[in-house]
Every structure is written in C-alpha cells, then in structure tokens.
Amino acid sequence: MTLVASGDLFAQKGVTTFGLQVKPVIPLSFFDPLVTVETPPLRGSMELTGGLAFGMVVRHGLTKSISFETGINQITRRYDFGVANDTSGYDEIGQLRYVGYEIPLLAMVYIRLGQKTWMNNALGFSLDMYPSDARSDIEEGRAYVFRTSWIQMGVVGNVGVEYRTERSGYFYLGATYHRPFNDMAVADLTWYNVNYLPTVMRTGLDGSYLTLDIRYFFHEAPDKSRTR
C-alpha cells in the first residue's frame, strides 16, 4: 500500500501544483552582456551586471512524465552604462534598472533520478511585457532606455533538479536561459556639451539573460479520478 500511495503522489498526471520562485540573473561573457557604441570623439557602453526575477509558477501534469508550466514573473535587469569623450577627457559610469514582466508557456519533461529526485527539462515561449521606460542621469550625460514594443515574444529553456517530499512540497534548483526574438529595448546614451546641447548615441539591447532558479512547490494531492 505504501508503494502504491508513493507512486500516486509522485505521478504528475492530473495534478496542478503552485509554486514560488526566485531567479538571480547571472551575467556571463558568453552571452555578450556588454554593448558598445561610438560617435567619435564619444564612446558609450551598456553592460548587464545582474538582476533579479521572482514570481509564481503553475504546473499541470499532462502525463506521468510531461507537464505544462506557466506563471508570471517580474524581472529587474541591472545595467552599468558609460559615456566618454576622448577630446575633453570626460569618462563616467552610471547605473540603471529596467523592469519587465514575463508569462512563460513551457512544456516540461521529467527524468527520474532516484526515489524522490527528478531531473526536469523544459522548452517554450514567453510573453514579455515592459510597462515603462527607464532613465539615469550622470554629470555630463544620461542613459534613457525605452521599449521597442509593449509586448514581445521570447524563447525560454531551462534544466533543473527537484526533490519531492510526501508532505512538505517540492524543492527545485536549476537554470533558465531567456532570449527575446527581437531587441528588448533601445538605449540612448547622451552627452551634453558646455551649452547643454546633446549628442546622442543609440544602441539596441537584446535582453538575453541566464538565471539560477530556486523554486518551492506546495504539496498537492493527485486527483484520484484523473490518475486512475
């Protein structure tokens, strides 16, 4: 009887599970976090230095090894930006935060590693929304980031391992790669001369990122009528 109950508990078919997640953004050089632009004698840069995503996850079991996953997340990307003038010797760095929201739509496949341990692989799409622009001023310039579209599409893939308990829910550790199909936003890097006349350097921001995923799923008992 114990084996049957355990099998029903860990089978995902017909089970809808709710969870919470926190995802620190990891800036890696492999994913090109630094963007540069030049309008001689001016130089500008935008570099993703980190960030944080958090939100809720909803998972529904389609079979014992395949689930559909969605939810909603808020993500804050942190950037360092620089504006330099080679003629005057001016060179300054500032910081800027850009906030967005994501609704992922993923198909997830499970591979059982042990009695209570599972490996997950998921792939799908994300609806990305950007409610507002962002601005940061420095002594002789500023950075202004504005969205290219209010809502965009991106591709999402993740891999992780989760430990499932009988009464305390599921504990998950993994990683996610998110890449928009088009540039997430456009960045204007502006330098002001002594008469406060602006010179603008413009560059696109693709918005790609990698995260470390920490999740907790609340315990949900299987729907017996659907798992028989």
pLDDT, average across residues 45-51: 95
Burial label, 150 (beta-carbon count in 10 A; 0-12, 13-18, 19+)? exposed
- Phi, psi angle pair for 168, to nearest 5°: -105, 5
Between these two residues, 180 and 195, which has the higher pLDDT value? Answer: 180
Q: What's the confidence (pLDDT) of residue 196?
A: 86
pLDDT, average across residues 24-39: 86
H/E element holding 226? helix 224-227
Dist. CA 64–CA 84, nearest whole Å: 57
Q: What's the confidence (pLDDT) of residue 226?
A: 46
* Cα separation of the two ends of the chain: 15
Q: What's the confidence (pLDDT) of residue 74?
A: 97
Identify the three-state secondary structure at position 211: strand
Per CATH, which fold does 2-220 belong to? Porin (2.40.160)
pLDDT tens-digit readout, 103-149: 999 999 999 999 999 999 999 999 999 999 999 999 999 999 999 88
The band of 221, judged by pLDDT with boundaries at 50, 70 and 90, is: low
Dist. CA 211–CA 61, nearest whole Å: 24
Beta strands 185-192 and 34-39: pairing type?
A: unpaired
Between these two residues, 108 and 27, which has the higher pLDDT value? Answer: 108
Structural domain spans, the chain: 2-220
The band of 227, judged by pLDDT with boundaries at 50, 70 and 90, is: very low
Residue 140 token pair: 């002789």
